[in-house]
């Protein structure tokens, strides 16, 4: 056999064994041999290599039948890492993410709302380098960076096409981060990565088709089908906030009239409230409603009805098994959750769909985007055979 | 080698060769050997078997280089057939469908609007048996029946869960047709099968993600992703007609208020018009608008705006590359098409999506559901190896 054929098979076998242990652990060497069709000798050799480089651990497990201890194998979740990054208007959050979706050394950096993409990405690169030093992370184990941010993202090209919230246009995020950190970067919309985190380790684990709906500065959704983010033609699928509910309604930032988010986006609600009384935040608006102010009740009640409408409409289009809600409006105000629990299914969901899906809340809240971004990077850049070779050479 | 292993390989090789010719034709025996890795002898033997049973033809083609004629192979599209059936409120349409999506012997049968599912399926079974006799179709070549109808369809179970248009509940369509014709039947919503026809041989050929929107007695849509119908959890994905645009709006048949289809469904428009003047049909309503009647213009203009809103909203959710329009409202009235061409993209589609998709009209109109149903049945039931064996035994 040619040398490069041998190398190819070696790489392929190592990847296969690692994947099997990752997805089916804990399991024994004999089970690996059975599942892969490889010889026990080959399996034992590869397991020894993986073990030596700390990619997996042996664990002992009492077998039920005769009390004999079996040696089972389990992937070391910390043996492969990525860096997850969330960019928000006034804050950047960074953390290392392991194979189990756990965050290591999460940190927050303030961001000036007017900051250019160059300045923000400079802070991120410095933050990543500091994180690696502070946590003494092994650079060889970091497969890449994932970045989640609001806006229209060119996922394939690693660019933010337009982020109104950050004030960015055509920002080459992956290019700049690669230059400053030496690491490859995957970039996506914040809701898309958050839905991935929920699917893999959160509220939608085990779902076949889940959709995450975010009610925040805008309104958006992200559909996961069989484990993959449904992106659509230009990575813009799920833009429920810009579906029109009233062609004669209020003018949206996007130029159209009556977009759904003109009824429920944070700024829209505060603006409506301010016509009656000076109101600076959602907290004040909700407090006014609790104080029995009629105008505040009107605005909040209408917003809650439109939140329920959004859930019903998304269910009509995607027919999911799970709907996950996230964002300030649904996470911070218990009256909104109470309204959804009481009225949404029975009054706002099309009758044939009632009972076909469950409504859940984000399992991560604060860390969802970091985790999802990190998992996105792992999915895109993890190449275990190359990583092993790199570690063998050092 | 064991006899059953030999049989398995024989069946597998026959299927492979047939599929290769079907998907890459015309091509030569040598190309088949190269693409499959089979020996030229095996390929020649299988090709001879397929040719003998009329599953393919040889065609001669001048080669460009030396003028020598090459013998190329092409599947005989008429060698595999299915029966496509469309059930509408007042008519049933039946036709045989070949591998190219062509209809053979299409016929129409009147249906009493109040008819039970048993009565209608009895007529269909009789119609299918008559079609086979009239067209002298070889029963061994018919893989099964496909049925498209309006309503909520249990695709896996072959049942109509609920068809408000036909007045059916829990109708076991596949079971009854199997009993009366001996043929297996696949059942689906009419828009879903129509979108399949458009994807395979119509206006969305070559599309990666197309959506068909139907404006008729109701409003619905069907998304095709990489050649597969996106069904969702209960085969109800795409129900855009029941997305709510006005929570305080008109009561829809479904019990909710302000569903999109209360603004554009045929019956809703006629009802709105009738409040002003007795109007019995869409034709009369459109005629009144052409005659300059203000009230008719108001109703039609609002309906056209909501048609454009529907297109924009579906594009926001699915981010498709192609949107195909079908149904009476868009197919019968040139003023609606003119409005869509002039205003839809520029005024009703979210700006970042402009230019990411094209708007097209159904390539089939009348035959779309028959063709799509037939193709659905082929996709589900075609088993070329079994078919060959059956024909060898007879």
Q: Give the ipTM.
A: 0.92
Identity of the highest mean pLDDT range in A15-29, A47-61, A93-107? A93-107
Count the residues in chain B: 394
CB contact under 8 A, B240 and A317: yes
pLDDT of residue B282: 95
Residue with tokens 């969330």: A86
pLDDT of residue A216: 86
pLDDT bucket at A130, cuts 50 / 70 / 90:
very high
In this complex, the residue of B245, B306, B352 whose CB is nearest that of residue A152 is B352
Q: Confirm or reject CATH 3.30.420.40 for domain A79-194+369-393, answering yes or no.
A: yes
**Residue A166 · residue A193 · CB < 8 Å:** no
> Is B356 touching A (CB cutoff 8 A)?
yes
Give Cα B176 to chain centroid, integer Å: 22
Instruction: Using DSSP, state whether A323 is helix, strand or coil.
Output: strand
CA gap B349, A313 in Å, rounded:
18
Choose the CATH number for B79-190+369-393 among 3.20.20.70, 3.40.250.10, 1.50.10.20, 3.30.420.40: 3.30.420.40
CA gap B326, B194 in Å, rounded:
9
Would the CA dihedral through A67, A69, A70, A72 be positive or negative?
positive
Q: Is the pLDDT of residue A62 over 70?
A: no
CA gap A240, A264 in Å, rounded:
12
CB contact under 8 A, A244 and B244: no
| CATH 3.30.420.40 location in chain B | 79-190+369-393, 203-362
pLDDT bucket at B6, cuts 50 / 70 / 90:
confident
Residue with tokens 């190398």: A7
Residue with tokens 């059936």: B85
Tens-place pLDDT, residues B290-334: 999 999 999 999 999 999 999 999 999 999 999 999 999 999 999
Would the CA dihedral through A176, A181, A185, A191 be positive or negative?
negative
> Is A247 touching B (CB cutoff 8 A)?
yes
pLDDT bucket at A246, cuts 50 / 70 / 90:
confident
CB contact under 8 A, B357 and A320: no
Q: Which residues contact B49 (CB under 8 A, 6 or more apart)?
A: B14, B388
> Is A245 touching B (CB cutoff 8 A)?
yes
- Containing B24, the helix (H) or strand (E) segment is helix B3-24
| CATH 1.10.10.10 location in chain B | 3-75
CA gap A325, A74 in Å, rounded:
33
Choose the CATH number for B3-75 among 1.10.10.10, 3.40.630.30, 3.40.30.10, 1.10.287.3510: 1.10.10.10
Residues of B within 8 A of A256 (CB-CB) are: 312, 347-348, 350-351
Q: Give the pairing of strands B152-154 and B159-163.
A: antiparallel
> Is B247 touching A (CB cutoff 8 A)?
yes
pLDDT bucket at A248, cuts 50 / 70 / 90:
confident
CA gap A128, A134 in Å, rounded:
10
Q: Is the pLDDT of residue B190 over 90?
A: yes
CB contact under 8 A, B243 and A313: yes
pLDDT bucket at A66, cuts 50 / 70 / 90:
low
Q: Is the pLDDT of residue A9 over 80?
A: yes
In this complex, the residue of A232, A235, A353 whose CB is nearest that of residue B320 is A232
Give Cα A229 to chain centroid, integer Å: 10
Lowest mean pLDDT of A164-168, A310-314, B341-345, name the range: A164-168
pLDDT of residue B159: 97
Torsion of CA A291, A296, A297, A299, to 10 degrees: -160
pLDDT bucket at B69, cuts 50 / 70 / 90:
confident
pLDDT bucket at B8, cuts 50 / 70 / 90:
confident
> Is A164 touching B (CB cutoff 8 A)?
no
Choose the CATH number for B203-362 among 3.30.565.10, 3.30.420.40, 3.40.50.620, 3.90.600.10: 3.30.420.40
B 196-235 → A contacts, CB under 8 A = 208-209, 221, 225, 230-235
Give the residue, A188 or A11, on which the prediction is more confident: A188
pLDDT of residue A393: 82
pLDDT of residue A16: 93
Give Cα A348 to chain centroid, integer Å: 27
| CATH 3.30.420.40 location in chain A | 79-194+369-393, 205-362
From the list B219, B111, B107, the residue with the least C-alpha distance to B166 is B111
In this complex, the residue of B239, B305, B317 whose CB is nearest that of residue A243 is B317
Give the residue, B2 or B230, on which the prediction is more confident: B230
Residues of B within 8 A of A244 (CB-CB) are: 245, 309, 312-313, 348
CA gap A269, A267 in Å, rounded:
5
pLDDT of residue A390: 85
**Cα dist from B319 to A136, A184, A223, B241, B352, whole Å:** 43, 27, 12, 18, 10
**Residue A161, phi then psi, degrees to nearest 5:** -65, -50
**Residue A58, phi then psi, degrees to nearest 5:** -90, 140
pLDDT of residue A1: 59
Q: Is the pLDDT of residue A68 over 90?
A: no
> Is B170 touching A (CB cutoff 8 A)?
no
**Cα dist from A143 to A13, A175, A389, B211, whole Å:** 20, 16, 14, 37
Residue with tokens 């990489």: B226
Tens-place pLDDT, residues B139-183: 999 999 999 999 999 999 999 999 988 999 999 999 999 999 999
The percent of residues in chain B predicted with pLDDT above 70, rounded, is 97
pLDDT bucket at A63, cuts 50 / 70 / 90:
low
Instruction: Using DSSP, state whether A56 is helix, strand or coil.
Output: strand
CA gap B77, B364 in Å, rounded:
19
Other Cβ atoms within 10 Å of B70 Cβ, number: 14
Tens-place pLDDT, residues A283-337: 999 999 999 999 999 999 999 999 999 999 999 999 999 999 999 999 999 999 9
For the domain covering A205-362, report its CATH number: 3.30.420.40
Tens-place pLDDT, residues A173-201: 999 999 999 999 999 999 999 999 999 99
Instruction: Using DSSP, state whether A146 is helix, strand or coil.
Output: strand
Would the CA dihedral through A55, A57, A63, A64 be positive or negative?
negative
**Cα dist from B370 to B106, B118, B179, B188, B243, whole Å:** 9, 20, 21, 12, 28
CB contact under 8 A, A319 and B232: yes
Q: Is the pLDDT of residue A373 over 90?
A: yes
CB contact under 8 A, A242 and B357: no
């Amino acid at each position: 056999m040619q040398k490069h054929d041998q190398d190819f098979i070696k790489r392929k076998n190592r990847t296969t064994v690692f994947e099997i242990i990752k997805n089916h652990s804990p399991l024994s060497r004999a089970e690996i041999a059975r599942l892969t069709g490889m010889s026990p000798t080959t399996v034992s050799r590869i397991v020894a290599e993986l073990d030596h480089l700390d990619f997996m651990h042996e664990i002992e497990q009492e077998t039920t039948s005769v009390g004999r201890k079996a040696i089972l194998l389990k992937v070391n979740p910390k043996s492969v890492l990525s860096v997850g990054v969330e960019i928000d208007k006034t804050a950047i959050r960074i953390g290392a993410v392991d194979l189990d979706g756990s965050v290591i050394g999460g940190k927050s950096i303030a961001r000036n709302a007017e900051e250019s993409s160059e300045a923000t990405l400079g802070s991120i690169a410095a933050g990543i380098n500091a994180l690696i030093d502070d946590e003494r992370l092994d650079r060889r184990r970091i497969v890449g960076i994932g970045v989640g941010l609001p806006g229209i993202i060119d996922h394939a090209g690693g660019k933010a096409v337009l982020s109104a919230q950050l004030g960015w246009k055509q920002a080459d995020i992956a290019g700049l981060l690669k230059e400053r950190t030496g690491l490859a970067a995957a970039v996506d919309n914040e809701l898309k990565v958050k839905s991935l985190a929920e699917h893999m380790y959160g509220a939608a684990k085990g779902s076949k088709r889940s959709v995450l709906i975010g009610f925040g500065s805008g309104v958006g959704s992200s559909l996961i089908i069989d484990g993959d983010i449904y992106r659509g033609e230009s990575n813009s699928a799920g833009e429920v906030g810009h579906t029109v509910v009233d062609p004669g309604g209020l003018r949206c930032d996007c130029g159209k009239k009556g977009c759904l988010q003109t009824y429920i986006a944070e700024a829209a609600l505060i603006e409506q409230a301010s016509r009656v009384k000076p109101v600076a935040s959602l907290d004040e608006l909700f407090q006014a409603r609790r104080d029995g102010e009629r105008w505040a009740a009107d605005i909040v009640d209408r917003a809650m009805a439109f939140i329920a409408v959004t859930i019903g409409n998304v269910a009509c289009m995607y027919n999911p098994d799970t709907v996950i809600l996230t964002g300030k409006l649904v996470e911070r105000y218990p009256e909104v959750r109470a309204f959804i629990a009481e009225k949404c299914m029975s009054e706002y969901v099309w009758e044939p769909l009632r009972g076909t899906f469950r409504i859940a809340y984000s399992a991560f809240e604060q860390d969802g985007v970091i985790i999802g971004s990190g998992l996105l990077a792992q999915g895109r850049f993890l190449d275990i055979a190359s990583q092993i070779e790199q570690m063998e050479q050092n």
